[in-house]
Amino acid sequence: MLFWTLSGLTLLLTVLTFLPLWRYEAWWVRGGDFPRLQFAIAALALLAIAALVLDLSRPGSWAVIAASLVCLLYQSWWILPYTPLYPKEVKGAAHADRDNTLRIMAANVMTPNRNASALLAIVEANRPSVLVAVETDEWWQAQLDVLERDYPHALKCPQDNLYGMHLYSRLPLEDGEIQFLVEDGTPSIHTVVILRSGCRARLHVLHPAPPGPTENDESSERDAELIIVGKSVAKSELPVVVTGDLNDVAWSATTRLFRKISGLLDPRVGRMMCNTFHARYPFFRWPLDHLFHSHHFTLSRLQRLPAFGSDHFPILIELAFEPSCGKQQEGLDADADDHAWAEEKAAAENADEGDVHTPGR
């Protein structure tokens, strides 16, 4: 009985592990990208139990052990880059130059959450250059507008559909625009932020809708938005930062495709997963809130901040504009198949990189 129980659980884990290899965009397929850490832990547990309790003289026992090991190794391949065991993709900052520093705090506030005072206290304690808040409605705008004394530059798009978006900045903004790139009701922000040194950088804030039983049936809308923004910033002559709740995990095939197409770097690689969701359930967490940047920047600080009542933790990333130090940094390279897949994803939603506002052009 124990053998068949372990066999059944291992078979289920094997199916869930390899299901995302299928490029079908239905939510129940793409959802397998998210809990890779949890699947790896489950595979390790099954492997240990099978090795301890099964009769190792039976070939079937070794089949269960082998399948669990393959699942563990495969899931580990995806998540290992987000641990200190992997080489850092982004260098640590060589100098602490305030004039060339960009400190960004990103927070999904969760619209029904009304603990604005806790979020404001976190902002005051960390004093970011730029605050990005998503899932913001009119009520949240009224609470966050108290920041305008210190953050006089802003772009605001309050909505009551869980996709509102606000950007408050100490630094000047230029050529900003709010767009609905793929779906009506799902905004994105595109602007130039000007550092104290005068350096100008493109900043793109995204929050596409996720695939899920209560959201979009497929991931095609989310994927198309990521791809066309990635293609747009790949051509940028200015330094680039892309941030927001992408409703996709750092280790998914789609996020990897975005990194390949855009040429942007992920400061978490070689450091930490920085799991930001779900704030209330420690075992069910994965990295949904992101920041990617061009090679012009190195990393001064990467931190998950305290919970404030939302289902997401806020994150803080401090970048240093050091193009001479960062020019040797390399991310992922796109091949012909990657470019073809990206074209396919954009075409599925009739989306084009030309739709993306290119601030500072």
Can you tell me the distance from the alpha carbon of 166 to that of 337, in angstroms, rounded to the nearest whole number?
36
Mean pLDDT of 63-67: 91
3-state secondary structure of 227: helix
Checking if the pLDDT of 328 tops 90, the result is no
CATH assignment, 98-355: 3.60.10.10
Averaged pLDDT of the chain: 94
The DSSP line for 152-200 is -EEEEE--SSS--EEEEESS-EEEEEEE--SSTT--EEEEEEE-TTS-E
Q: Quick one: pLDDT band at residue 59, thresholds 50, 70, 90?
A: confident
Domain ranges of the chain: 2-82, 98-355
Q: Which of 219, 220, 250 is nearest to 344 (CA)?
A: 220
Residues 6+ apart with CB under 8 A from 174: 191, 192, 193, 194, 200, 359, 360
Can you tell me the distance from the alpha carbon of 165 to that of 173, in angstroms, rounded to the nearest whole number?
16
- 279-310: pLDDT as tens digits: 999 999 999 999 999 999 999 999 999 999 99
pLDDT at residue number 325: 81
* Torsion sign (Cα): 340, 344, 345, 349: positive
Alpha carbon separation from 107 to 60, 247, 326 (Å, rounded): 49, 13, 27
- 224-282: pLDDT as tens digits: 999 999 999 999 999 999 999 999 999 999 999 999 999 999 999 999 999 999 999 99
- Per-residue tokens: 268: 């978490």
Going by the DSSP 8-state scheme, the letter that residue 218 receives in this structure is: B
Global pTM value:
0.94
Q: Which of 302, 303, 301, 295 is nearest to 321 (CA)?
A: 295
Checking if the pLDDT of 351 tops 80, the result is yes
pLDDT at residue number 121: 98
pLDDT at residue number 56: 82
What share of residues in the chain are helix, strand, coil (percent, to 5)?
40, 20, 40
Neighbours of 305 (CB within 10 A): 19
Residue 245: enclosing H or E segment and its boundaries?
Answer: strand 240-245
pLDDT at residue number 307: 97
Can you tell me the distance from the alpha carbon of 77 to that of 251, in angstroms, rounded to the nearest whole number?
10
Checking if the pLDDT of 101 tops 90, the result is yes
